[in-house]
Structure 1
Amino acid sequence: MQELSILFGCAFLLLMLLNTPIAVALALATLLSLIATGSDASYVLASKFANGLDSFALLAIPFFILAGYLMGQGGMAHRLMDFAASLVGRFPGGLAYANALTCMMFGSVSGSATAAVSSVGSFMIPQMNQRGYPRDFNIALTATAATTGVIIPPSNVMIVFAVAAGGVSIADLFLAGIFPGILIGLSLCLVCFLASLKLKFPAEAPAPLQQVGLAFKRAFLSLLLVVIILGGILSGIYTATEAAAVAVLYALVVSVFIYKSVRLTQLPSIFLKTGATTAVVMLLIGASSGMAWMLSSANIPQQLSESILALSENKYLVLLAINLLLLLVGIFMDITPAILIFTPILLPVMRQFGISDIHFGIIMISNLCIGLCTPPVGTCLFVGCGVGKSRIAKVAPYMLPFFLSMIIAILVLTFVPAVSEWLPRAYNE
């Protein structure tokens, strides 16, 4: 069995070095490993591929993706930005706070970090450039703040984790992500505060109360979507999957008929992009499911768990080691396959130390979010540099303080479980 794991690892690494798409690399490496065992490889892989996708919860993913695209083109980012700016624009560095808050709100509404970078960044970065904020600072802020939308519900990757962990409540995960997402967002705002002291960022004219009310009124329908999704799930009116369908209907009505910023003629292209994105995600899930079954049949997760446990019996040292591992994994692997691959391996270790599935899910997702802003995989960083018209080498120095603040926040939520567990526990009581 050890030879099987070595064969899989070598094949996977070789395919990755050849720049093979990760889903294809996973499937081919698994197929090669199954052939080496003498089993009916094609039948087994196809069967496990299909079984991995046979989950009602996964139906929520294409719906949330479609809702995110509709809202991204529906003018919701501008309304949220105006509301955030009316609240915090009066302070020195107010536009930086507004950028961070807008990314948090839009990311939570759309469930997509890259959508937040492109939608918010395309408007906020030029605005901040005109007010004298450093261009590369603006890009770094937008790229990192957008990742909070992956933690604050609704979140596609939380659904993926729930499926990978087997039986974890999506509603509890959604609740558990609220405080950690806010904590990370506030840590980014702290960096903005320190930067405003050093670089003397300007303050905007205080917004009259009437203007704040008008901005809230314009953003109300956008913010209401989160209430509709979470309220419906937590009250038992509908499941997370049904909530995703409701989100699509709501986003369609608001974007097309109320805001009128999406034309009916644009819908086919939005549906096409949704289908393409969904196909990539589902291919990753199917391939990862086949790989997970192959590794499990070879007893590899159990062996790795025993190896980790042998390193130390101290829970806090093991948590630190796993945080470091996840940070490194996030640098080189996208968040969805990383969750699918490492959840079955690390979750048994966490359970032996008394770490709840929900707490570990938040730890894993928060760590992997940093990888969205780091090369070579960092999609948020690449999109931010594209929108802001800069290069990664110039943005990188401004990323470091934000990375540090995110890591500190992650350590807090790692060693203070109540940050993620209090809200779902209070709800279930």
Structure 2
Amino acid sequence: MTIALLSGLIILVLLLIQLIAGVPIAVALGISSIAAILPIMPWDATVITAAQRVFSGVSIFSLLAIPFFILAGNIMNKGGIAIRLINLAKIVTGHMPGALAQTNVIANMLFGAISGSGTAAASAMGSIIGPVEEEEGYSKDFSAAANIATAPTGLLIPPSNVMITYSLVAGGASVSALFMAGYIPGVLWGLACMVVAYILAKKRGYRSDINYSGKEKLNMFVQALPCLFLIVVVIGGIIFGIFTATEGSVVAVVYSLLLSIYGYKSMKWKDVPAILKESAQMTGIIIFLIGVSSIMSWVMAFTGIPQLVSDALLGLTDNKYIILLLINIILLVVGTFMDMTPAVLIFTPIFLPVCQALGMDIIHFGIMMILNLCIGTITPPVGTTLFVGVKVGGVTIESVFKQLLLYFGAIFIVLMLVTYIPALSMWLPMAMGIIK
């Protein structure tokens, strides 16, 4: 227990110091982990073991799904798919108050369900629908807040790279089950934000005068149908065992590339090298994080840190609901200064044993954790989706954050529902027969 406490303190203190100093998170994780194990292991053995852990951490076949889904998302972002989804969302929103903001919310959910990227959704949807909202008299702050608040839904609605990462750290949790489990929480997030947007828009008198004929609506739907079919092909193929998540990611790349170049003709082959370069850079960052985080996972397991945290939490109270609330609060705080991937890699082995001791299913915990960390992507100081949405919307964080607080309240309610009502996560994968 003393070793676990000492190692935990070394990791925590060094990690905080390096993050404050601006050291890249992957480097900070590696340095903190090695420093924590040195008091109980010789230097040469530490270096050799750390190298082996990095290699074994990234030498996993299922990790191939991550670069392919990243590539597919980048292709979709530049291939004309976003505008088709926005047009489809307009059909649904009609003339309700704040119709264009409601369109933004639905479009973010649809785009996220195809690309699996919150930042891509915020960028694509904000840059296309933001100027239209401004023309109709919507304030920039109102438009940007609705876009930012709902962009992370794509990290819950599959496909989601974070879910694939979690499945690996959590001991091989079913990716198919995680994908299905994310649908209802992701949709609830979107619906909660639509309620907030409705209230704000009605208060400000934002209404849309756009009226589409039946023929125009049909044309919009037909144009968007190939995008929606991608969801059916990829997710359906994974769920029904036609191909694995890794193979499904390749299918998503091929489908989106052919659709963008030959279907919508909004992208050319000469654009592909730049997209490949961008995707490779993003992949390198994530894979390096996973590799280095494998060192930390080994250090924590070797020193008994997860058991220490588990005993401490369970020693505070035996009330399941209070413990889950404490874990949620910790994850919400963590999400404000740490990206999702390293947070999943670090805190899954710490909190999963605690939640399993309370009887929580591994899938339910994964969705709760991912939803928590999704909120972190739209909060300062590290919220990448927040910064992208602010830049695209042409606003400041200070001005938009006041409105985001209302959305945070709605999202927090969804988080509590997902935490304390397991059926919201578990019903769909159980109904599909993926888990029993």
Compute the TM-score of the two structures, normalised by the length of structure 1.
Answer: 0.98
Are 2:226 and 1:226 aligned? no
The structural deviation recorded for 1:30 is 1.5
Q: How does 1:323-342 map to 2 (within 5 A)?
A: 323-342=328-347
* 2:297 paired residue number: 292
The structural deviation recorded for 1:204 is 2.8
The one-letter code sitting in structure 2 at the alignment partner of 1:315 is: K
The one-letter code sitting in structure 2 at the alignment partner of 1:281 is: I
The structural deviation recorded for 1:183 is 0.5
* 1:46 paired residue number: 51
Deviation string 1:282-316 (CA, Å, 9 cap, x unpaired) is: 01111111111011100011011110111111111
Are 2:3 and 1:12 aligned? no
* 1:210 paired residue number: 215
Deviation string 1:18-54 (CA, Å, 9 cap, x unpaired) is: 1001011001112222333333222111111111112
1:241 alignment partner, one of 243, 246, 262? 246
Deviation string 1:89-142 (CA, Å, 9 cap, x unpaired) is: 322211111000000000110000000011111011111111111101111111
Partners of 1:86 and 1:211 within 8 A in 2: no
The structural deviation recorded for 1:87 is 2.0
Compute the TM-score of the two structures, normalised by the length of structure 2.
Answer: 0.97
Deviation string 1:235-290 (CA, Å, 9 cap, x unpaired) is: 11100110001101101111112111111111111100011000000011111111
Q: How does 1:260-279 map to 2 (within 5 A)?
A: 260-279=265-284
The one-letter code sitting in structure 2 at the alignment partner of 1:350 is: C
Partners of 2:30 and 2:292 within 8 A in 1: yes
* 1:361 paired residue number: 366
* 1:29 paired residue number: 32
Count of residues paired in the alignment: 429
The structural deviation recorded for 1:148 is 0.3
The structural deviation recorded for 1:61 is 0.2
Deviation string 1:69-98 (CA, Å, 9 cap, x unpaired) is: 000000100000011112213222111110
The one-letter code sitting in structure 1 at the alignment partner of 2:232 is: V
| Aligned mates of 1:205, 1:129 — CA distance in 2 | 14
Q: How does 1:11-410 map to 2 (within 5 A)?
A: 11-39=14-42, 40-410=45-415
RMSD: 1.1
**Which runs of 5 or more residues in structure 2 are unaligned?**
none
- What secondary structure, in the 3-state scheme, does the structure 2 residue paired with 1:95 have? helix
Partners of 2:156 and 2:183 within 8 A in 1: yes
* 1:424 paired residue number: 429
| Aligned mates of 2:22, 2:418 — CA distance in 1 | 35
| Aligned mates of 2:218, 2:184 — CA distance in 1 | 26
Partners of 1:94 and 1:204 within 8 A in 2: no
The one-letter code sitting in structure 1 at the alignment partner of 2:382 is: V
Partners of 1:89 and 1:97 within 8 A in 2: no
The one-letter code sitting in structure 2 at the alignment partner of 1:45 is: A
Moved over 4 A (4+): none
Q: Percent identity?
A: 42
Partners of 1:176 and 1:424 within 8 A in 2: yes
Partners of 1:79 and 1:215 within 8 A in 2: yes
Partners of 2:238 and 2:244 within 8 A in 1: yes
| Aligned mates of 1:205, 1:65 — CA distance in 2 | 35
Deviation string 1:136-167 (CA, Å, 9 cap, x unpaired) is: 11111111111000000110100011011012
**Which runs of 5 or more residues in structure 1 are unaligned?**
none
Deviation string 1:293-351 (CA, Å, 9 cap, x unpaired) is: 01110001101111011111111111111111111111111111111100000001111
